[in-house]
C-alpha cells in the first residue's frame, strides 16, 4: 500500500510541476506553488524530493527508463536494430 501511495504522490508532484511549467518560467515556480497545485503539504514534497531540480531529474530518469524498456521490448518483438528503433521512436515522439 505504501509503495502505491508513494508513486501516486510523486506523480502528483511531477504533474503539478510540469503543468506550472506550461504557464511559468522554471525560476518563477516555487515549491509552494507546486504543492498548492498538487494539493499537498510542503513536508510531503520534501519527504520525496529535496528540490524542484530533483523532481525534473527524477521524471527525466523515468522517461529514459521507459524509453529504454520500449526499445528492448520492440527489439524482442521485431528484431529491428537498435539505431533504427531509436530513430523510429524519436520520430513518433516528435510527431
The CATH number of whichever domain residue 47 belongs to comes to 1.10.357.10
pLDDT digits (tens, 9 = 90+) for 82-94: 667 667 667 776 6
Please give the grid coordinates belonging to residue 42. Answer: 510542503
Q: Does pLDDT of 3 surpass 50?
A: no
Helix axes 31-38, 2-21, angle to 10 degrees: 120
- Asked if 35 and 4 touch (Cβ cutoff 8 Å), the reply is no
Distance, CA of 79 to CA of 52 (rounded, Å): 39
Number of domains into which the chain is organized: 1
Average pLDDT over all residues of the chain: 83
- Asked if 40 and 12 touch (Cβ cutoff 8 Å), the reply is yes
Q: What is the pTM of this model?
A: 0.69
- Asked if 9 and 44 touch (Cβ cutoff 8 Å), the reply is yes
Which residue range forms the structural domain that includes residue 84? Answer: 2-94
pLDDT digits (tens, 9 = 90+) for 60-87: 888 887 777 776 666 555 665 666 766 7
Per-residue pLDDT, 67: 73
Amino acid at each position: 500500500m505504501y509503495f502505491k501511495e508513494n508513486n501516486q504522490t510523486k506523480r502528483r508532484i511531477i504533474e503539478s510541476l510540469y503543468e506550472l511549467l506550461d504557464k511559468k518560467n522554471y525560476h518563477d515556480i516555487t515549491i509552494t506553488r507546486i504543492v498548492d497545485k498538487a494539493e499537498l503539504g510542503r513536508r510531503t514534497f520534501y519527504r520525496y524530493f529535496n528540490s524542484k531540480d530533483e523532481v525534473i531529474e527524477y521524471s527525466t530518469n523515468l522517461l529514459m527508463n521507459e524509453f529504454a524498456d520500449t526499445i528492448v521490448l520492440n527489439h524482442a518483438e521485431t528484431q529491428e536494430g537498435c539505431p533504427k528503433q531509436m530513430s523510429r521512436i524519436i520520430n513518433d515522439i516528435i510527431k
